[in-house]
């Protein structure tokens, strides 16, 4: 977040300074992440749980609730499964895109240079 201080009035500068001081005070009052982690681990231990049991390992998605419409088509916003990539970055063969969702940065940059999306199709 870049703020051009030269464009601010004295009132705006005072307001910005006060906001920064409040934020600094808030951050100083917080305990260190290591201290909070120790407290959480101690509470988990006293309750007989592990962090993996409660929060997962961070690699797998959280279990889904049973759907009311079991056996029907997935609702909007649900994942439909993996799709084979359709486009590949010629400069870096590991970068691919399925054609779904937002264009990756490498493809958007090439299109901005004047190339066509079809130029990157995987044959």
Domain boundaries, given as residue ranges, for the chain: 10-55, 87-120
pLDDT score recorded for residue 120:
93
Cα-based distances in Å from 123 to 8, 45, 95, 116, 118: 55, 55, 15, 15, 11
pLDDT score recorded for residue 66:
57
Element (H, E) at 85: none
pLDDT score recorded for residue 53:
83
Radius of gyration of the chain (CA): 25
pLDDT score recorded for residue 78:
72
Q: pTM surpassing 0.85? A: no
Q: What is the CA 77 to chain-centroid distance, rounded?
A: 17
pLDDT score recorded for residue 27:
92
Consecutive sets of 10 residues in the chain, 123 residues long: mean pLDDT of each? 86 94 93 91 90 74 56 65 90 92 93 93 89
pLDDT score recorded for residue 74:
61
Check: CB of residue 122 under 8 Å from CB of residue 85. Answer: yes
pLDDT score recorded for residue 17:
94
């Amino acid at each position: 977040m870049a703020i051009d201080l030269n464009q601010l009035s004295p009132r705006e500068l005072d307001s910005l300074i006060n906001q920064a001081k409040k934020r600094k005070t808030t951050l100083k009052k917080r305990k260190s992440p290591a201290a909070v982690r120790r407290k959480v681990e101690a509470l988990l231990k006293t309750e007989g749980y592990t962090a993996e049991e409660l929060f997962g390992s961070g690699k797998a998605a959280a279990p889904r609730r049973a759907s009311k419409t079991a056996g029907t088509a997935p609702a909007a916003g649900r994942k439909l499964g993996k799709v084979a990539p359709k486009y590949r970055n010629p400069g870096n063969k590991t970068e691919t895109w399925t054609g779904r969702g937002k264009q990756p940065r490498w493809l958007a940059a090439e299109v901005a240079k004047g190339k066509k999306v079809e130029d990157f199709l995987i044959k």
